[in-house]
């Protein structure tokens, strides 16, 4: 006797199984959304230029700060290579003054690059810090040029592991300088003697003396509100500086007669983070005057760091913001931080989104401290909230995707429950298209002499009924076993 076992699935078990699967799927999605570390906390360190944009006239000098933001990771060594177009910019000086590095292993330059590698001995960098100040002279006359990093590296202070460092860049735009006049020397006027000249006593002859003093070199050391200009001439002269934020009209004290001059501009006349134009004026012992061409210098700005947030408190990542009054534009990092160097006082942070402009006022304190002629200013931090909702959009996308998956899972369950379940017909020997109700199956099995086996199996052995399609066939039907999964 052959025995066949037919499994009749229970719909309740199908629902339970799919429900468990759905819960597992939702658990995984929830783990991704709420268990994954926040992007800001996993942000990599960043090296960047401050300011990131600047406008200069051809022939003028300007400074940019190379700054490093460790994003909360303790760091003790930083290295970078900055590149620039030598046909438009000339590197004139590098300075580690006021920076976080206590020593440098590499600090070299070529006509188109600067390479630096330094360490903070006996300490570590944990917040946004100045690494080096680079001073350039603009030799290009139009358009713009970039200062970019081709390499940037840092090492953790706790285990010396090398970190991946994000790299910013800077854009220098060239403006048209005003029409300038040649260097002027005071004319020497000679009047012929009355006894030897037949010309009127009012006649004069003007000549430029070859003995007029010449400027041989200049350099400038600029801090927050202190500047010292070194100017050298070919002959002994007195000297002073004319300076101003526009036309150089403010005058310093006059130095004594010498070839080498070091002229200080007092702090009371300078502001942090401000560009000044200046001219060196020489006078020799004969009273002949020489003026240098107009040059420029920029005082160091007080470092500030602003975290830019949306109205839900999420950081606005990699978005452009501008600070006024002297406009500086930069992009926020992965934490939503923007870094600037500015003068103390009131400033406005500007953010544009969707055709709208949002402004937020900041007040920067005057925290410049002077000790032994060296000025320092600690980093000031701010938090600004703008009424927008773009700061955490990636989470919105994940939630939408999760909702779609849930809808697909529910649709799958409904589809499975609405499909007919095939069953085997013991009489016809084929699969039917509809599963009979459990009660009906049980009643029919009992009425036909089925006996209960162990558990939920019911068995009947047909020994005499012939097959419906073959009345002459006296072989017993195969015994069938039905099992209901519960």
Residue boundaries of the structural domains of the chain:
1-36+395-486, 37-179, 204-293, 302-388
pLDDT at 410: 75
pLDDT in tens, 452-470: 444 444 444 444 444 444 5
Q: What count of residues does the chain have? A: 486
Torsion of CA 307, 311, 313, 318, to 10 degrees: -50
**Cα separation of 53 and 35, whole Å?**
39
- pLDDT bin (cut points 50, 70, 90) of residue 29 is low
Residue 447 pLDDT exceeds 60: no
Which range among 38-42, 83-87, 426-430 has the greatest average pLDDT?
83-87
Enter the tokens of residue 312. Answer: 């839900």
Enter the tokens of residue 291. Answer: 């003026």
Rounded mean pLDDT, 157-183: 74
Rounded mean pLDDT, 12-27: 62
- pLDDT bin (cut points 50, 70, 90) of residue 483 is very low
pLDDT at 408: 81
In angstroms, what CA-CA distances link 257 with 206, 229, 234?
Answer: 26, 16, 12
**Cα separation of 298 and 200, whole Å?**
53
pLDDT at 395: 55
Residue 278 pLDDT exceeds 90: yes
Q: Looking at domain 204-293, which of 3.30.300.30, 3.40.50.150, 3.40.1110.10, 2.60.40.10 is its CATH number?
A: 2.60.40.10
pLDDT at 322: 92
pLDDT at 173: 85
Tell me whether domains 204-293 and 302-388 share a fold. yes
In angstroms, what CA-CA distances link 211 with 214, 234, 290, 430?
Answer: 9, 10, 11, 123
User: Cα-flanking dihedrals φ and ψ of residue 314, to 5°?
Assistant: -90, 140
Residue 149 pLDDT exceeds 90: yes
Enter the tokens of residue 49. Answer: 């230029």
Q: Does domain 302-388 have CATH number 3.40.718.10?
A: no
- pLDDT bin (cut points 50, 70, 90) of residue 53 is confident
Beta bridge mates, 205 = 190
pLDDT at 204: 34
Contact (Cβ atoms closer than 8 angstroms) between residue 349 and residue 362: yes
pLDDT in tens, 370-381: 888 889 999 999
The residue among 269, 88, 288 whose CA lies nearest residue 208 is 288
Contact (Cβ atoms closer than 8 angstroms) between residue 215 and residue 233: yes
CATH class of 37-179: mainly beta
Enter the tokens of residue 316. Answer: 């606005």
């Amino acid at each position: 006797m052959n025995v066949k076992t037919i499994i009749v699935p229970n719909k309740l078990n199908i629902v339970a199984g799919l429900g468990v699967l759905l819960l597992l799927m939702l658990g995984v999605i929830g783990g991704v959304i709420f268990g994954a570390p926040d992007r800001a906390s996993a942000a990599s360190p960043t090296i960047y230029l401050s300011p990131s944009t600047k406008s200069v006239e051809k022939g003028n000098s300007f400074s940019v700060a190379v700054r490093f933001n460790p994003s909360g990771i303790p760091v003790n060594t930083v290295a970078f290579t900055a590149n620039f177009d030598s046909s438009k910019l000339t590197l004139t000086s590098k300075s580690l003054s006021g920076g976080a590095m206590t020593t440098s292993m590499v600090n070299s330059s070529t006509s188109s690059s600067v390479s630096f590698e330094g360490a903070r001995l006996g300490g570590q960098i944990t917040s946004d810090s100045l690494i080096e100040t680079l001073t350039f002279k603009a030799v290009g006359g139009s358009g713009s040029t970039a200062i970019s990093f081709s390499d940037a590296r840092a090492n953790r202070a706790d285990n010396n592991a090398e970190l991946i460092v994000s790299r910013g860049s800077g854009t220098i735009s060239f403006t048209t300088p005003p029409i300038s006049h040649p260097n002027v020397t005071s004319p020497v006027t000679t009047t012929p003697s009355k006894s030897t000249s037949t010309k009127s006593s009012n006649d004069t002859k003007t000549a430029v003396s070859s003995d007029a003093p010449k400027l041989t070199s200049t350099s400038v050391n600029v801090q927050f509100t202190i500047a010292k200009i070194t100017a050298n001439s070919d002959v002994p002269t007195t000297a002073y500086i004319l300076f101003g934020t526009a036309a150089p009209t403010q005058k310093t004290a006059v130095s004594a007669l010498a070839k080498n001059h070091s002229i200080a501009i007092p702090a009371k006349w300078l502001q942090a983070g401000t560009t000044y134009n200046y001219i060196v004026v020489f006078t020799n012992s004969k009273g002949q005057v020489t003026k240098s061409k107009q040059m420029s210098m920029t005082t160091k700005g007080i470092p500030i760091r602003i975290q830019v947030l949306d109205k839900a408190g999420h950081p606005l990542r990699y978005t452009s913001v501008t600070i006024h009054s002297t406009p500086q534009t930069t992009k926020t990092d992965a934490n939503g931080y923007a870094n600037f160097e500015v003068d103390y006082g009131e400033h406005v942070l500007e953010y544009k989104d969707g055709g709208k402009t949002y402004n937020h006022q900041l007040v920067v304190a005057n925290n410049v401290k002077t000790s032994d002629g060296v000025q320092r200013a600690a980093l000031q931090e701010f938090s600004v909230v703008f009424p927008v909702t773009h700061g955490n959009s990636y989470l919105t996308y994940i939630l939408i995707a999760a909702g779609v998956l849930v809808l697909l899972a529910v649709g799958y369950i409904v589809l499975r429950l609405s499909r007919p379940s095939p069953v085997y017909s013991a009489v016809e020997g084929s699969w039917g298209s509809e599963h009979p109700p459990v009660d009906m199956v049980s009643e029919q099995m009992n009425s036909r002499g089925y006996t209960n086996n162990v558990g939920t199996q019911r068995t009947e052995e047909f020994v005499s009924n012939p097959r419906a399609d073959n009345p002459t066939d006296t072989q017993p039907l195969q015994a069938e076993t039905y099992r209901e999964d519960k």
